[in-house]
Structure 1
Amino acid sequence: MKNYISSAFRLTIVMLVIVGVYSIFVYAGSKVLPNHGKGEIITHNGQKFYANVGQDFKSAKYFHGRPSAVDYNAAGSAGSNKGPSNKEYLETVQKRMDTLKMQNPEMSHVKVPVELITASGSGLDPDISQEGALYQVKRIAKERNISETALENLIKANVSSPLMGLFGPSKVNVLKLNIALDQLK
């Protein structure tokens, strides 16, 4: 019995040290990162936005991001928790696809990028793929009376590469892209 208590006590001490060191490392790391770990804040037209939290753009003259299972409420991030065989989930995705094709009728023959019809695990993903942005070019060009080439160049200028060129696909931050779109002459 004595061995079990001393073993449990040693394990508790070791885990406290590991968790404590990890917590200190994360806290110290956040202090040397840009914005001290508080996220990237962008001020546009007198309003502050977090670039790392998805925003809801409904107007046809803007690029749309990923759908959100939590209606873009950062206080309660979550996914839908419904699997790919769930009937309700499949109906939701189909409705999103129908809406997307209705908003972008010129693209009805093109494969829909998956991130434009499925929510992310957090429901707050601020990024879409370059293909997701290009899918929306014809609609925005028509709405804003801008050439498709100018929009394609704007997208290319706003593509961010994966971390160290290795981890994950390249992506486009929808908030930054829409701010750049507003500044386009």
Structure 2
Amino acid sequence: MLSHVRPALVATLFFTALLGLGYPLAVTGIARLAFPAQAGGSLIRDAQGQVIGSALIAQNFTKPQYLHPRPSAAGSHGYDASNSSGSNLGPTNPDLAKRIARDTAGLAAEGPGPVPADAVTTSGSGLDPDISPANAARQAARVAAARGLAVGEVERVIADNTVGPWLGIFGQPHVNVLKANLALDALKAQAHPKS
């Protein structure tokens, strides 16, 4: 019996070490060499070097001078990176319909024009850091008024931070909310430099 158990035990330990430790460590090492920023979490730092977020995870910007992200159902208050999830409300759920109608009415009160779908729907993870260019453009007037800027200046920042489909064909154009908001803050700082 021992002659049958021993090879099975040795094979299990060998493949556990190889595939459970060796392979993940090799892939992580290669990723850190080839893509250091992405392997490190795509962290974004301020001028002092402090981490202020990740380009991969949405933050809840609510002040009028900032672009607002998609709604989030991650965690009890949304935008909880440790509790990533969608709302799990199906398209015929009356609670979902009420929330979308409420959010759409609130955005319609902000200004005229169609409300983009991503402005009132959550992503699958609840943490999508990007919004559509149409969603960003719809917010430009509010952001400009709150910052005392011309709408064209905000639209230029949005255009500068719009990323096209990967390789020109995969995905949709999008605007990373955190990066665009940092660019807006830098624009305001340049317009009114501290003495």
> TM-score, normalising length from structure 1?
0.81
Task: Flag structure 1 segments of 5+ consecutive residues without an equivalent.
Answer: 1-8
What residue is the counterpart of 2:103 in the other structure?
A: 96
Q: Higher relative contact order by CA 8 Å / sep ≥ 6: 1 or 2? A: 1
Task: Flag structure 2 segments of 5+ consecutive residues without an equivalent.
Answer: 1-7
What residue is the counterpart of 1:4 in the other structure?
A: none
> Bigger shift: 29-38 or 75-84?
29-38
Number of equivalenced pairs: 168
What residue is the counterpart of 1:59 in the other structure?
A: 63
The answer on 1:121 being equivalent to 2:128 is no
- Give the whole-Å Cα distance in 1 for the aligned partners of 2:132 and 2:30: 29
What residue is the counterpart of 1:3 in the other structure?
A: none
**Structure 1 residues 22 and 117: alpha-carbon distance in aligned structure 2, compared to 1, 3 A threshold:** farther
- Give the whole-Å Cα distance in 1 for the aligned partners of 2:100 and 2:44: 31
**Deviations 1:3-47 (Å, cap 9, x if unpaired)?**
xxxxxx9xxx9xx79xx4985775355322132512211122654
Q: Displacement, 1:182? A: 0.7
What residue is the counterpart of 1:68 in the other structure?
A: 72
2:28 aligned partner, one-letter code: Y
CA RMSD across the alignment: 2.4
The answer on 1:78 being equivalent to 2:85 is yes
- Give the whole-Å Cα distance in 1 for the aligned partners of 2:47 and 2:129: 19
2:56 aligned partner, one-letter code: N
- Give the whole-Å Cα distance in 2 for the aligned partners of 1:183 and 1:24: 39
What residue is the counterpart of 1:162 in the other structure?
A: 165
> TM-score, normalising length from structure 2?
0.77
The answer on 1:132 being equivalent to 2:139 is no
2:160 aligned partner, one-letter code: A
1:77 aligned partner, one-letter code: S
Runs of 4+ in 1 over 3 A off after TM superposition: 20-29
